[in-house]
Every structure is written in C-alpha cells, then in structure tokens.
Amino acid sequence: MNGTEYIVGRRAALELLRDEASRARIEKIYVAHGVHGPQIGELLAVARKHKVALGELDRTKFRELERRAASGTDSQGVIVLVTQRSYQELEDVLSPGNEAKAGRWPPLLIALDGIEDPHNIGAIVRSAEAAGATAVLLPKRGAVLTPAVYKASAGAANHIAIVKYGNLAETIRRLQEAFGVTCVGLAGEANRSLYETSLAGPLCLLVGSEETGLHRLVKERCEQLVKIPMTGKTASLNASVAAGVALFEVVRQRARGDVPGGEVSRSR
C-alpha cells in the first residue's frame, strides 16, 4: 500500500487538480486562512467542482504543518496531501508498446548524476516535461521528489515518468545493450560540440553536478561526450540551464530532421 507525501505551492497544486490521474492521488488540500489571488480562486473552484477535500487552517496551524511538510520551502499558503507516486522501471518506459516508441519521436531520457539541489532537480524535470521527454532518471539515494522539487518543477513532476536507478554506469550499459539507447554526456572538457552531434535516435542525456560534473565511470560508458560552446567570460552553466539547452537542441533537431554531424559513434 502506498504511503502519503506532501506537495506544496500554488502552481503545483493546480497541476495536480487539472490532471485526472494526478487528482485521484489527492487526499486533502490545506489552504492558509486569508490567502488570496487568481491561482487560489481557481484552485478552490476546481477542487470544489471535483469534490476534492479542502481544509482551511489558521496561520498558526498552517505554519506547523508547513514545518513538518516542507521545511525551508515557501508553500505559498497551499499544501497538498497525496498518495505517494509510483516510480517506473526502464522496461515500463521503453517497452515496445510504450507511447514513446509508438509516437513520432524516439525515446528521450535524461539522467542526473550527483545533482542534489532540489531547485536544479525541479527545473530539469520541468524542462524535460516541456521538451516531451520520456522519463527522468534519478538515483535511488540522494535526489528524491521532495516538496521543494515539486514546487521548482511547477507541477511538471506530476506529468513525466520518473525512473529510479541504483548504479548509473550499469544503467547506461542496460540502456545501450537492452534498449538500443545512445547515451550522451554533457562535459565541459569534451572536444565535440552539442550542436555538431546527432541527437535524432533513441537517446539518454546525462547531466552532472556543477561542482564535480559526471563521474568517471559514467563518462567512460557514454558513447559521446559533448559540450555547450561558451563564447562569453562565464566558464560554465548552471546544471539545470545546461540540461534545458541540451533538451531543446534535441527538440530542434528532431523537429527539423537535422543530422548536424552524422550519427553519434557507438565506440569510444
């Protein structure tokens, strides 16, 4: 039986309410007494329309709940109690009957290596969902869908598959051998530009933390390492910004049918 968890923030709550499957996970929505605004008005209207349980708490009780549910995160006066979401396996999102294979685009995944900041994780999840990605791969330990991640994703975490991995290097091997997915890592020291690399086929982008980048074994397992060309004085991009740039380069290439540098080599 699934447990429960909290999701905070007005936009995240609205995204839950607007989607039928996500709405079914809602146990109760708590709103702080006196909060107002267009999003609050829409939230209350949609919740009442679909007979979702609502609770208005005075400021003292709401702050107590906020401390328990989302310590350090501004809830914007809205906290949602939901049943915990289930996580997918690679087989679930890359099986022959999956929509990603049946649709007009090959599978597109993005894996996070050593990224722990919830705002970065949430922003990457948001970009991935907006780019039509198949799934986001997160470590079983460390990066989790906390209330802060949900809030930073602006609700996008409700609409994209999340796969948990144990060992990323081993997961890359499985992607390559079992599913025919090409793995491309973002690395500032790479010789090849992102824009000179074909991203048209089944693909997993790998993004490391700003401090350490991708781990050595992860880099060694990738078919290709690519960099985002920098023309200013700034040496590197925020991890979530770099991920967004790469994801939408995939979108651009696939929409135009571009093959900027030929097929990615499957040997290193």
pLDDT digits (tens, 9 = 90+) for 53-106: 999 999 999 999 999 887 778 899 999 999 887 788 999 899 766 554 444 569
Cα–Cα distance, 250 to 73 (Å, whole number):
32
One DSSP character per residue, 56-124 reads EE-HHHHHHHHHHHSTTS--TTEEEEEEPPP-B-HHHHHSTTSHHHHSSS--EEEEEES---HHHHHHH
**Residues 109-128, buried b or exposed e (16+ Cβ, 10 A)?**
bbbbbbbebbebbbbbbbbb
Its pTM surpasses 0.95? no
Other C-beta atoms closer than 10 Å to the C-beta of 59 total: 12
Which domains occur in the chain, in start order? Answer: 4-83 (3.30.1330.30), 90-256 (3.40.1280.10)
Q: Tens digit of pLDDT for each residue in 234-263?
A: 877 899 999 999 999 999 999 887 655 445
